[in-house]
Amino acid sequence: MDVLDLARSQFAVTGSLHFLFVVLTLGLAPLVAIMQTWHAVSGKPVWERMTRFWGQIYVINYALGVFTGLVMEFQFGLSWSGLSHYAGEVFGPPLATETLVAFFLESTFLGLWIFGWHRLPKWAHLACIWMVTLTAYASAYWIMVANAFLQNPAGAVARDGHLALTDVGALLTNPALVFALPHVAGAAMLTGGFVVVGASAYHLLRRHPEQGFFATSMRLGIVWAGIGVFVTSGFGFAQFAALSDYQPDKFDGGAPAVSLGFMILIGELFMLAMMFFLLPVVYWLPRWRWTHPILMLMTPLPFVASILGWLAREVGRQPWMINGKLTVADALTPGLTPAMITGSFAAFTLLLGALAIVDYALIVKTVRRGPAGAFLGARDDGAPDPSPAPALSH
């Protein structure tokens, strides 16, 4: 592999790892916020325990989203300085806004939420998780603005050898953005919903004493994932019309077409399962233990589909970094040596790969420990837990 191949592989590996964690973050955040809202409104302790149990899956997953995201942000300058030289004035502002507003707020409010249990007033604490959710989606919007510009450089013209921003409105309402963003959001709902379904199926199958807790979680997860699969499929197919204008040959090659094909296959499988089985029988599903191993086996599939979707979107644009304007070869940092890119590729891949494995092992461990062992929001000053385990009722 030459320097260009290595730099592209580094971006593909760190980008795919990043999205594996981000897609779950985006899918779980609103679900956790809804659970906490339900608790604030109804006062029922089970909803607080659900918030804490699923919330800790959310935060453990969040850690790797940050680690991989750091590498993503700095990688643009390390490997692809040609991009900022040529198009930084158009591509830079969305990324800057994402970090300076959306992620800045998300990180600050997440700290307030995690460490604010028992300290912030109830409604203020609830506002924190909603701010985390809102800013996570704002982040997704700005990142997708930047990505959509690479797909279809709207709102910019070439001037003196670089791109200048001429139409902010066109940049922010790019046809490569307006369908792709809900497509990604729907995929996240499907992924997050099914993680809740799969983990609940595991405990229901093993006859966990808290049947009610996991039955409610499973139903909520199915409905959430069900909405997600309709949104992601609808907006996914809706992209093809606009795509035929700005990238008509996108899926003519092998890898993009195969990725797209398998992604659609997974999507339609979930669509059919939802329409004709899971949603109509959602009330009884927690009791039908024979379905639970199948639900658990389905849980990783939305992650696979998410990565396939990104491969189709990114590989299908080659050899362009900015479609029709700048090739990946021209975007490569001048003077990047094989030693540099090999060294950093090895360092990032080994470190992030190892941490990703540890993180997933911790998520599995946390799921298996069940709600009684929830550490998120647990008091450590000896005061009694405000919500002891409820009676073992259905």
Min CB(73)–another protein separation in Å: 6
In the bound state with another protein, the residue whose beta carbon lies nearer, of 301 and 362, is: 362
The torsion region of residue 288 among left (phi > 0), alpha (psi -120 to 50) and beta comes to beta
Separation of alpha carbons 135 and 154, rounded Å: 25
Separation of alpha carbons 298 and 279, rounded Å: 15
DSSP state of 277: I
Cα separations in angstroms, 69 against 34, 91, 282, 284: 26, 17, 36, 40
Interface positions, 255-294, toward another protein (CB under 8 A): none
DSSP state of 121: -
Min CB(117)–another protein separation in Å: 5
Min CB(343)–another protein separation in Å: 7
Binding mask 16-55 vs another protein (x if CB under 8 A, - otherwise)? ----------------------------------------
In the bound state with another protein, the residue whose beta carbon lies nearer, of 383 and 391, is: 383
- 156's enclosing H/E stretch is strand 156-159
Min CB(19)–another protein separation in Å: 17
227 near another protein, rule: CB under 8 A? no
Residue 319: is the preceding peptide bond cis (ω within 30°)?
yes
Separation of alpha carbons 346 and 25, rounded Å: 26
Return the number of other C-beta atoms located less than 10 Å from residue 294's C-beta: 10
Of 21, 53, 58, 67, the one binding another protein (CB under 8 A) is 67
Q: What is the DSSP string of 8-48?
A: HHHHHHHHHHHHHHHHHHHHHHHHHHHHHHHHHHH--HHHH
Q: Is 265 helix (H, G, I), strand (E, B) or coil?
A: helix
Report the alpha-carbon angle 138-142-146, nearest 5: 165
In the bound state with another protein, the residue whose beta carbon lies nearer, of 143 and 305, is: 143
237 near another protein, rule: CB under 8 A? no
170 near another protein, rule: CB under 8 A? no
CB of 71 within 8 A of CB of 348?
Answer: yes
Min CB(131)–another protein separation in Å: 8
Of 336, 367, 370, 371, the one binding another protein (CB under 8 A) is 336
| Distance from the first to the final alpha carbon of the chain | 59
340 near another protein, rule: CB under 8 A? yes
115 near another protein, rule: CB under 8 A? yes
355 near another protein, rule: CB under 8 A? yes
Q: Is 374 helix (H, G, I), strand (E, B) or coil?
A: coil
Of 98, 152, 175, 195, the one binding another protein (CB under 8 A) is 98
Of 9, 99, 342, 349, the one binding another protein (CB under 8 A) is 99
343 near another protein, rule: CB under 8 A? yes
152 near another protein, rule: CB under 8 A? no
119 near another protein, rule: CB under 8 A? yes
Of 242, 333, 370, 371, the one binding another protein (CB under 8 A) is 333
